[in-house]
Structure 1
Amino acid sequence: MNTINVRYFAALQEQAQLSEEIITTDLKTYGELYQWLASRYRFSLPLSQVQVAVNDHFLQLTDQITDQAQVVFIPPVAGG
């Protein structure tokens, strides 16, 4: 089991109605974690439209979850 801190921003924060939470999980990858959270909070963004940052570094959604990680799922952003 891994214990991780998940932080939410933008649309994901609005849909989760949380800015962050600590989760203990036996899920294997960050993609699996996002899918679990998407089901739990009914996120409107599919997995293909988010990126993941772990401990301030961008990783792949297929990377293995590490214990005590600080995780942020990043929705698409528009600039101008």
Structure 2
Amino acid sequence: MTTNLISGIAFCGVGLLIILIGFKVTHGEWLHFLAGNIFGDNDKDAFKHRKGIGLFLIITGILIIIFYFLVFIKSPNMR
């Protein structure tokens, strides 16, 4: 039971972190998290695609959290 709780906190934490990065990328901040833009040398391309990539990250984070809660509800050890 403790392992499920710890993994749940980790899953939710990762999901929330991905959502946070998605919001920051959508608003034009933290563009260095995008692949190929580690040193900030390609800001035009990263800024052009920021909304699509940010939305993708936000949806991915939400799906991670939803997936965890679906597994959490169906787990017989957590009742």
* Shorter-chain TM-score range: under 0.3
More strand by share: 1
Identify, as 1 or 2, the structure richer in helix.
Answer: 2
User: TM (normalized to structure 1)?
Assistant: 0.26
Larger-gyration structure (1/2): 2
